[in-house]
Structures are given as C-alpha cells and as structure tokens.
C-alpha cells in the first residue's frame, strides 16, 4: 500500500497508511504511516471491540494532522499494547516445532528481498513485459 500511497501523494492526494509490520513499512517508505505492534491482520484492533477500533482510528487521524507526521517517511508509533506483555509474539511469530522429538524448529518463512516476488514464472513474465516501458500508471517512476 505504501507504493500506492506515494503515487497518490504525487497526484496531490494526502495519504496515511496504518501498519503492524514496521520493517515492511519502513522499506516501502509511504509518505506517512502509523504503527501498532500488533499481530498482522489486526491493524485497527481486536474483533468485536468497537471502542478500541474507534480509539485507534482517532489516534491515526490525529497523527495525520500532527506535525510529527509531516515529514515524508515518518512512522508514528501509536504505542497501544496488544496485551499486558509480549507473550503473544511467541505464539504468532516463532517458527513451528518440527515433528521430530528434537528441540529443533522448522523455519519455513521466505527470506525478504527487495526484488519483486511472483507466485509463478508466468506472473514474473507478465510483470516484466508491463513494466519494461514504465507504462504502468501506478508503478511509473517507482524504482524497482
């Protein structure tokens, strides 16, 4: 979304991204963003907690207006904890245990790269053809 936000900003439309993945957001460098150290997929809070969801949205909109978010690439940490401690990270961010009886774990995550990743070779071929002339209205001017 940060790449799209940069293009919208270039067209004169102010944007603010919400993120729970600081490293990805920092790499993409949206014009401005808010960050919550929460599980992916829960950027605006827990399900069925409308008061929390509204508070997150109010804090995000306040950051949009704040001087702190005026500098491009700024990530404003909203500082709202997901839980009383960080134990939840052990459940959602650690590699799963392997099936053998040893203490080793299997890390099946794909290493991050600045090179675009595609699900199939056909997708990569199509993307290369469409971007060869920089004719994509969304991606024109974006440095791959």
Answer yes or no: is 99 within a domain: no
C-alpha distances in angstroms, 126 versus 3, 42, 80, 134, 141?
19, 32, 42, 13, 19
Select the more confidently predicted residue: 49 or 99. 49
Predicted local confidence at residue 134, as pLDDT: 62
Answer yes or no: is 18 within a domain: yes
Q: pLDDT digits over 86-115, tens only?
A: 777 776 666 555 555 555 555 555 566 666
Answer yes or no: is 26 within a domain: yes
Answer yes or no: is 113 within a domain: no
Q: pLDDT digits over 58-97, tens only?
A: 998 888 777 666 777 788 999 888 887 877 777 666 655 5
Nearest to 39 by CA among 88, 111, 4: 88
Answer yes or no: is 14 within a domain: yes
Looking at the predicted structure, is the pLDDT value of residue 51 above 80? yes
Looking at the predicted structure, is the pLDDT value of residue 135 above 70? no
Work out the number of other CB atoms within 10 angstroms of the CB of residue 88: 15
Q: How many angstroms from the chain centroid is the CA of residue 63?
A: 17
For the question of whether the overall pTM of this predicted structure is more than 0.75, the answer is no
Answer yes or no: is 115 within a domain: no
* The total number of structural domains that make up the chain: 1
**In which domain, by residue range, is 7 found?**
2-82
């Amino acid at each position: 979304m940060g790449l799209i936000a940069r293009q919208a900003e270039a067209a004169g439309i102010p944007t603010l991204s919400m993120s729970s993945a600081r490293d990805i957001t920092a790499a993409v460098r949206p014009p401005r963003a808010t960050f919550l150290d929460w599980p992916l997929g829960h950027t605006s809070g827990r399900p069925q907690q409308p008061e929390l969801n509204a508070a997150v949205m109010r804090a995000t909109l306040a950051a949009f207006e704040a001087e702190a978010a005026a500098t491009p690439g700024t990530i404003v940490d909203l500082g709202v904890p997901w839980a009383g401690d960080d134990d939840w990270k052990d459940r959602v961010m650690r590699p799963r245990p392997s099936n053998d009886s040893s203490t080793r774990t299997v890390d099946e995550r794909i290493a991050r790269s600045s090179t675009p990743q595609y699900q199939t070779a056909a997708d990569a071929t199509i993307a290369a053809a469409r971007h060869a002339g920089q004719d994509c209205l969304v991606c024109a001017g974006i440095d791959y």
